[in-house]
Amino acid sequence: MKTRLYILFTLLVCGSQIFGQAHYKDMIYSNVSISTVQYSDTFAQSMDIYQPVGDSSCFRPVLILAHGGSFINGTRADDNAVVTLCNNFAKRGFVTISIDYRLGNAINMALDSTYAINEVLKSIGDAKAAVRWLRKSAYTGNTYRIDTNFIFCGGNSAGAVLFMHYIYIDSVNEAPSALRNIIINNGGIEGNSGNPGYSSEVRAILSLAGGLNVPEFVGPGSKPIAHFQGDQDNVVPYGCADAEQGAIQVRLCGLSACDPIYNANGVTHVSVVFPGDGHVPWQSDASKMTKVDTICANFLDSTNVFPAITYCALANGINDVTDGKDVTVFPNPAMSQVNVSITNMAAYTTIQLVDGLGRLVQEKPVTTYINTIERNNIAGGVYFVRLVKKDGQTVVKKVVFE
């Protein structure tokens, strides 16, 4: 009987997309956990990893983002647009990433265009190492339950400039000679920031006030893009001009120059102009940030067919889970209530009761070492107590209500 139950529930839970039709487009999760890892041992660069609390999907799409700051300042945690997108897309079921990258010196950036280009190329190498780190993690245990077929990128301001060059410079040979030499000196098209041997491929880009040194980097077959910009932007010029109101002697071409190139090459894209606005108007206007966020979600949803959701933690929890030794569920079988004892209470945030089809029955915060879940008239049968840790990982225990 136990064997038949195991097979039945495995088929139900992991065999089809029963619930989750709103995954990846609507914000279906309430809370997000954030953990920090170092992705480049070479240059000691780190990323914040945002995960939806309570999600037990086996494989999840990834959105990796880079902050603004003119390549001279800013961090992964202080760019409002990036933090907002990371939180909102995690609530949609993505694993979202905010990266730091190497920054340059402001005076040198202004005085030496070669130095400025070199700093941008370093940051691109860092971003590629971050994507490779994600694949390395997925192929060596997949702690963050990443679907490596669905990795997307994007950024705000400088972060968008970074990722536009990342995604549209396909080879060293297509770059102008001066740029080609700088790319080679920074480790080639993949950079030298670490995690070699893994792909840095991404599927599409979200560009918030980004631009390209050469719009013609975009060609037939180029990756899809959602591109946002104010038409009075002169930090990343809306047309083609030197960056930072001419203070940086490096040419950048924004949305008005790139949009015709997207159209001419049949690139799947959404171009969103903010009339009368300058640089990154969504940073200080919540309604404009909501507009950007919603269009980004719709864009990724409409241009991708995400795979059916499989509930990994639940499938692994059909038989009694032997890890999570700091958690005990009793009595089991239970009649009217079940107690959940946690010896390492500080490591956990949430307790959930989930049925065999992955539906959330109850949820409550971890507030004490022994937490009680009332039956509340639910039908008898097999359920799962799922405990969510502060780092987003889960421990699952089977319980039977008689």
pLDDT, tens digit, 9 for 90 and up, residues 247-293: 999 999 999 999 999 999 999 999 999 999 999 999 999 999 999 99
Instruction: Report the pLDDT averaged over residues 97-115.
Output: 96
Note the pLDDT of residue 359. Answer: 66
Q: What is the pLDDT of residues 115-126, one digit of tens each?
A: 999 999 999 999
Mean pLDDT, all residues of the chain: 88
Widest CA span in the chain: 76
Q: How confident is the model at residue 356 (pLDDT cuts 50, 70, 90)?
A: low
**Res. 229: pLDDT tops 50:** yes
Note the pLDDT of residue 225. Answer: 98
% the chain with pLDDT above 90: 68
Note the pLDDT of residue 172. Answer: 83
Task: Give the residue, 6 or 165, on which the prediction is more confident.
Answer: 165
Instruction: Report the pLDDT averaged over residues 352-381.
Output: 83
322: exposed, middle or buried (Cβ count in 10 Å: 0-12, 13-18, 19+): exposed
Q: What is the pLDDT of residues 294-336, one digit of tens each?
A: 999 999 999 998 877 776 644 433 333 335 788 999 999 999 9
Query: Tokens standing for 374?
Result: 């009332």
User: Where do the domains of the chain lie, and which CATH numbers do they carry?
Assistant: 20-303 (3.40.50.1820), 319-401 (2.60.40.3080)
Note the pLDDT of residue 321. Answer: 39
Q: What is the pLDDT of residues 67-80, one digit of tens each?
A: 999 999 999 999 99
